[in-house]
Structure 1
């Protein structure tokens, strides 16, 4: 065992020594002779200064040892200290149990009934408190089992709440413009298109209202010139409006025909938006 120098609790050292010697069924005289070997520094000096024949047995030696090093004795808590422990606001059940058990270990000769009552009265969680009142528990094992169930439940609910909060945060990050662009892409994906690469024809419903397009830094004619050779670009079908009804003063480079300007072309707007 570790030698004692007078700076820690003397009672812990004495009890440890007694436990080891009692286990070996040592005689009282052997214990008196062996005890000095567990001392060092100031404690060894104290023992060496004891007057000869001043102590008659190990009990007297133990009392003298505790009396001399009483200033190093650790204050032992009593049951009243345990009864004062309450679950703090916003403290989890697990955190309260950990703190309660740590305090309970410092109470000497703690009565199990007192410990049971102290723990039950210290719980402030409303739902757990209701459960303990409605269903009387018999001992500490049942009380800890009930607390463990509520701990698991609370952790599961907390994890689910965090998942919902994270999803809501992600949804808020999407701006209305991004939502509109997403809807526009979804609409275009729903249009029928043959696998042989034939051009697509927009529905009349697509021309009724114009969505909120993404702001561009260049003209659509310039962008068309940059992307015209890309495989992903879908060229439109021929205009369905009769030739004699078209405006000959306007030309669309996307349709490669007269009728409207390139900047006004709804199908080019949709295609650029989809590529974005």
Structure 2
């Protein structure tokens, strides 16, 4: 009788209600976390759908779309979520390829601007590059 605390208790609807999308969490990760627990919970699909919607981060485009489209089934929710996940993935991929300080002029125009900055620092004169100083300045025969 004293071993009952080591027994795993079944998950309840409260377990699902506790799952909310984190401030920086992707939609994919949120849904994966929710599904992992929802498999263990006995609840209707309507209840799971309601809790999924409630757990979405406030102000996201996906949350707005779910509200506007009035998604009525879990399948419809997951289908819409899949589209947004693909969109999120594309956005991340393009951010990786294009740094935040990237300008429309492209990298070559940024290089030219940098060259102009170097000239300003040098007083308008273009200095030739010097070879690196050697560690050994004295020669002993």
TM-score by length of 2: 0.69
Relative CO higher for 1 or 2, CA cutoff 8 Å, sep ≥ 6? Answer: 2
Matched with 1:215 is 128
Structure 1 runs not aligned, ≥5 long: 1-66, 181-210, 218-276
Structure 1 residue 214 displacement after superposition:
4.1
Q: Write the deviation string for residues 25-76 of structure 1: whole angstroms up to 9, x where unpaired.
A: xxxxxxxxxxxxxxxxxxxxxxxxxxxxxxxxxxxxxxxxxx7964442021
Q: Write the deviation string for residues 53-106 of structure 1: whole angstroms up to 9, x where unpaired.
A: xxxxxxxxxxxxxx7964442021211221222111010001101111112122
Structure 1 residue 132 displacement after superposition:
0.7
Matched with 1:121 is 54
Matched with 1:110 is 43
Which of 58, 64, 76 lines up with 1:142 in the alignment? 76
Q: How many residues align?
A: 121
Task: State the SS of the aligned residue for 1:75.
Answer: coil
Task: State the SS of the aligned residue for 1:115.
Answer: helix
- The answer to whether the Cα contact below 8 Å between 1:177 and 1:214 also exists between their aligned partners in 2 is no
- The answer to whether the Cα contact below 8 Å between 1:177 and 1:212 also exists between their aligned partners in 2 is no
Separation (CA, whole Å) in 2 of partners of 1:79 and 1:146: 23
- The answer to whether the Cα contact below 8 Å between 1:82 and 1:118 also exists between their aligned partners in 2 is yes
Matched with 1:168 is 102
Q: Write the deviation string for residues 137-173 of structure 1: whole angstroms up to 9, x where unpaired.
A: 1210100011110011011112112222078396667
Structure 2 runs not aligned, ≥5 long: 131-141
Larger CA Rg, structure 1 vs 2: 1
Give matches, 1:69-218, under 5 Å: 70-107=4-41, 109-124=42-57, 126-165=60-99, 168=102, 175-176=114-115, 212-215=125-128, 217=130
- The answer to whether the Cα contact below 8 Å between 1:87 and 1:123 also exists between their aligned partners in 2 is yes
Q: Write the deviation string for residues 165-184 of structure 1: whole angstroms up to 9, x where unpaired.
A: 0783966677416998xxxx
